A and B are shown apart, each in its own frame.
Chain A
Amino acid sequence: MKSFKRILVVGEENIFSELCQIIVIAAEANTKLIDMLDDCKNEKCLDEGMQAIRSLENKSDSIAFKVNEDITSGAVSPNILEHLLECVRVADDIVDAYYYQAREMCRMYKANFPYTEVIEEDQWIATFKSLVELAEQALGKVKQALLISDLSEILQLRKEIASLEQQGDEIKDKGFDFLYREAPQMHYLQFYHYSGLLHKFDAILDGCEDLSDLVLSVITSIIK
């Protein structure tokens, strides 16, 4: 009976559920980052948020290590092995991006460039929050894509994630337009800070899109 159960184990399905744990961690990191953005003038809140995201990042690293091991030693079709390893790398990179954002926000505060009551800074926070909200939606859809078993639903989710990524691109472009307009009145560190955050928020959405593409690619190559 035990051997028969082993035969029925679909390695790819298990890998996707394990991968889902990293996406859940990314969603938790997203929530922490929203809290940090909400209270970005409070050093204690920034520090606590950064520590929490650091521990989430460590957790994600160890899950990624275990999933990689499971991929190379489990009941997985060899022709999708590379794709699955790439899925893990992309998912882990998403969590890494959150840690980068958290560290960057703390670092900037400690470099004596805290967010102030200036109108422009409120605009920056609003921009970042809208990108984080898009990321939250995209992560939810990636999680769904990893857990469901209907190909047409996965295709639909992939489209929705691509559309969220496009919205993110537009917000990022507007952000850069604003950044370059304001650049002459800015310290180079501020310029670097906003530019880095914009790129990383976009990288999170790109990661979600890449992950959904990879999931679809894995599924179509094992099913067709």
Chain B
Amino acid sequence: MVFELLLIALVFLAVMLVSGNNLSACVGPAVGARILSKRAGAFLGVVGFTTGLLLQGWGMINSINSLIPNATMQLQSEVLMAAIVVFVVAHLVRVPLSLSMSLVGLLVGAALAHNLGLQASYVFSVVALWFIAPIAAAIVAFYLIRVISRQKVRNIWRRIRFYKVLLLILAFTSAYTTGANTIGLIVATAGFNITTVLVAVSAVFIGVFCLGEGAIRRVGEEFYLMRYSNATVALAASTILVEVASFLNIPLSNTQATTAAVFGAGISYKSKFLSLKPYLIILGGWIVAPLLSFSIGYFLISI
């Protein structure tokens, strides 16, 4: 009973953090472009996260069954608690870190330590997708920008209107895929049932309106400094890849795909001024987060 309550509390906390943290990346461009108000953006985020979780989030049960089958409630709680601690510490020391990558590292570490019958082939496919997805996102964004730049524009304003509508749709789909993938993974870690889903939905509301709204405009405007086409292409590439990953029941970080797509869009121009430092820090985070989490999962949780 204690672990059941703890698990519900941890799901609430983890989903709240993820939805607050990912809101700006999903709806930020639409808010930054002033297509939506901050409040409407937050509402769209809530609808997207919730719809994704309800319609496709259950797919992550397969992921959990492959990573940590037959786990006890105590182990599930320990994994979620460790993931939250890692995420909060990384946030406090300002290191970009994906909760889904960290959670997968912890699950694999804990499964190996407890000899729970982890499916090695599934872990390989997850790791393979983590390498393939950013490269694919960068390539898709690179060529999409090239194609867009080559196209002759007959009506400038019609084109901008098209971008704006597309950005709005992508804001929703991006939130949807985050709901289906990362939030779905968190809920599935604790067992995908009515209680955890309801707790997650309420956590989405609180996370979005209490933690996410403040950063929307700032992140959105920074994101938006990339121009309409870049923002649209980056969101489209990340949405497609995260949706494909969700379809394959593989956890994939939305921010990982978006960052790679932003990079791909940036290098597609003939004359460019790119600062590589932030990308290298993020890349370092992608490697360190799962490995560190794996170590925590293997050594600490097994103690």
Contact = CB atoms under 8 A, between A and B. Distances in A.
Interface of A: 3, 6-8, 10-13, 74-79, 149-152, 219, 221-224
B35 A224 contact: no
Given A13-B160, A79-B224, A150 B154 contact: yes
Contacts of B35: 6-7, 75
B32 interface: yes
Contact of A79 (B152, B155, B156, B227): B227
Contacts of B161: 8, 10
Chain B interface residue count: which class? 20 to 34
8 contacts: A6-B35, A7-B164, A13-B160, A78-B221, A78-B224, A149-B154, A151-B152, A223-B156
Given A75-B33, A149-B157, A151-B156, A224 B229 contact: yes
* Chain A binding surface SS class: helix
Contact of B153 (A75, A78, A223): A223
Contact of B158 (A12, A77, A149): A149
Contacts of A149: 154-158
A77 B227 contact: yes
Nearest to B34: A75
A171 B155 CA distance: 37
Nearest to B228: A222
A109 to B, nearest CB: 47
A11 B33 CA distance: 9
A219 B156 contact: yes
Contacts of A76: 34
Contacts of A7: 35-36, 164-165, 168
B149 interface: yes
A78 to B, nearest CB: 5
A172 to B, nearest CB: 34
B210 interface: no
5 cross-chain pairs, A with B, having the tightest CB-CB distances, nearest first? A75-B34, A149-B155, A79-B225, A13-B157, A10-B160
Given A77-B228, A224-B229, A11 B159 contact: no
